[in-house]
Amino acid sequence: MSEEQKKVVLTCAQPSGNLHLGNYFGAIRNWCSYLDSHECFFGIANMHAITVPYVPANLRKSVYDLVAIFISCGLDPEKCHIFLQSHVQGHSDLAWILACLCPLGQLERMTQYKQKSAKQGESVGAGLLYYPALMAADILIYNADVVPVGEDQRQHVELTRDLAIKFNNTYSDTFRVPDLFIPQTGARIKSLQDPERKMSKSDANQSGCVYLLDEPTVIRKKIGSAVTDSGCEIVAREDKPGISNLLTILSACTGRTIAELEAEFAGQNYGAFKAAVADEVVKKLEPIQKTYKEISGDKAYLDKVLARSAEAAQRRANRLMSKVYRKVGFNELQK
Ligand code: TYM
């Protein structure tokens, strides 16, 4: 099948430091399954990363780290476009047009906005509120067919679908309304220290978050000190969020179902169970860490990947943006 005929997958991650198990099992691992069947655009959302306080030099470096992590996790750059959001013109232009269509109340109701703005108080920037419009633009500018994300991004992709429909109804059919895809296993990996909350890089308690580049000793320590629940049964149940989370992680690592794992660990104690989870996580991350060590220092190679992808992404974005400008009534420059 030619590139033109393939369906398009688009998704992004923010370059805010190291990625964790939630990003891997909820997102990247699943993205790999599209490499042969779809035309894939995997973006590094550096324009989203400036919606919260940040250090410019760290942001620049984090982009390279993330390209290297993407490739180490199996996103073969010969089979997909790993691009940097700010390299492609049109994302923020389209975001503006979509924001003009988007009711303010809908943005104010976004859970992520409510959580992140609560942390910043009075100093919260307007970019944080506007964030979902930019995310919608990231998706719609490529006329994506499918957007695979973790559960925490569901609301944003649903808003994207609403905006695509609204634009199509207002200006005539322009955007494909993308499908949301959330993987069954690993869609919501929780913090090891507070299993009611998602595992997150912005978590105050970093021992609740296992990073893909953590050393094996650190991984064993974090999993060994994971919060568990009262009782001693190893089962996934609502009143046992800590054990349920560890079972989810083990299931994501091994490909075995939760029911199989419950049967295997019946009668065993929490200590033995945690050690088994840690072993599997270390085993899973070992090849990723090995490749990362090999390629992360090769800036020229990473730059080449970004440059090639930016070109392909820009070509596709241009096609859509000229249509959008025409439909919304922007005059063409006459030379
Ligand atoms: P980000 O960078 O927070 O996360 C990247 C991907 O990882 C998933 N994820 C999780 N999945 C399961 N459990 C967790 N604990 C967990 N934490 C994160 C996220 O759902 C996501 O799929 N706004 C987005 C980036 C973005 C984007 C886009 C995504 C910008 N534009 C367009 C899709 C399409 C974000 O901050 O993801």
Q: How many residues does the chain have?
A: 335
Protein residue closest via CA to atom 14 of ligand 1: 22
pLDDT for 202 equals 75
Determine, yes or no, domain membership for 201.
no
Residues 232 and 115 in one domain: no
Co-location of 17 and 151 in the same domain: yes
Q: Is residue 159 part of a domain?
A: yes
Check residue 184 and give its pLDDT.
80
Closest protein CA for atom 36 of ligand 1: 14
CA angle 218, 243, 206 (to 5 degrees): 35
- 82, 70 contact by CB (below 8 A): yes
Position 36 scores a pLDDT of 97
The pLDDT value recorded for residue 3 is: 61
Q: Measured on CA atoms in the order 295, 34, 150, 314, is the torsion positive or negative?
A: positive
Active site residue 61: no
CA of 13 to the centre of ligand 1 (A): 5
- Domain assignment present for residue 333? The answer is no
Q: Ligand 1 pocket, 13 CB below 6 A?
A: yes
Do 17 and 157 lie in a common domain?
yes
Residues 263 and 181 in one domain: no
Q: Is 150 in the pocket of ligand 1 (CB under 6 A)?
A: yes
- Is there a single domain that holds both residue 170 and residue 243? no
Q: What is the pTM of this model?
A: 0.93
- Is 116 part of the annotated catalytic residue set? yes
Q: Are residues 20 and 89 located together in one domain of the fold?
A: yes
Considering 7, 79, 166, 201, which one is annotated as catalytic? 201
Atom of ligand 1 nearest to the CA of 198: 15
Query: Three-state SS string across the chain, please?
Result: CCCCCCCEEEEEECCCCCCEHHHHHHHHHHHHHHCCCCEEEEEECHHHHCCCCCCHHHHHHHHHHHHHHHHHCCCCCCCCEEEEHHHCCCHHHHHHHHHHHCCHHHHHCCHHHHHHHHHHHHHCCHHHHHHHHHHHHHHHCCCCCEEECCHHHHHHHHHHHHHHHHHHHHHCCCCCCCEEECCCCCCCCECCCCCCCECCCCCCCHHHCCECCCCHHHHHHHHHCCCCCCCCCCCCCCCCHHHHHHHHHHHHHHCCCHHHHHHHHCCCCHHHHHHHHHHHHHHHHHHHHHHHHHHCCCHHHHHHHHHHHHHHHHHHHHHHHHHHHHHHCCCCCCC
Residue 265 CA, ligand 1 centroid: distance in Å: 32
Burial class (CB in 10 A: 0-12, 13-18, 19+), 216: middle
Please choose, from the candidates 81, 98, 83, 95, the residue with its C-alpha nearest in 3D space to the C-alpha of residue 8.
81
Q: How far is the CA of 14 from the centre of ligand 1 (A)?
A: 7
Closest to 71 measured CA to CA, from 31, 26, 38, 14: 31
Q: Are residues 226 and 273 in the same domain?
A: yes
Residue 13: give the domain boundaries. Answer: 7-185+298-328
CATH number of 110's domain: 3.40.50.620
Give yes or no: 201 in active site.
Answer: yes
Question: Residue 190 falls within a domain, yes or no?
Answer: no
What atom of ligand 1 comes closest to residue 199's alpha carbon? Answer: 15
Residue 313 lies in a domain: yes
- 275 and 305, same domain (yes or no): no
Catalytic residue among 190, 198, 222, 240: 198
| Residue 212, ligand 1, Cβ within 6 A | no
* 36 and 141 share one domain: yes
Q: How many domains does the chain contain in total?
A: 2
Quick one: 64 and 176 in the same domain?
yes
Is 41 within the bounds of a domain?
A: yes
Q: Please list, in sequence order, all residues whose beta carbon lies within 8 angstroms of the beta carbon of residue 239, skipping any fewer than 6 positions away.
A: 229
Domain of residue 281, CATH code:
1.10.240.10
- The minimum-distance atom of ligand 1 relative to the CA of 151 is 20
Residues 146, 99, single domain; the answer is yes
Tell me, yes or no, whether 199 lies in a domain: no
Inside any domain, residue 175: yes
For residue 2, the model assigns a pLDDT of 62
48 lines ligand 1 (CB under 6 A): yes
**Do 16 and 159 belong to one domain?**
yes
What residues contact residue 18 under an 8 Å CB cut-off, 6+ apart? 65, 69, 201, 211, 212, 213
How far does the centroid of ligand 1 lie from the alpha carbon of residue 66, in Å? 13
183 lines ligand 1 (CB under 6 A): no
Annotated catalytic residue: which of 6, 7, 116, 166? Answer: 116
User: Which residues in the chain come in under a pLDDT of 70?
Assistant: 1-4, 17, 185-187
Cα–Cα distance, 71 to 114 (Å, whole number):
33
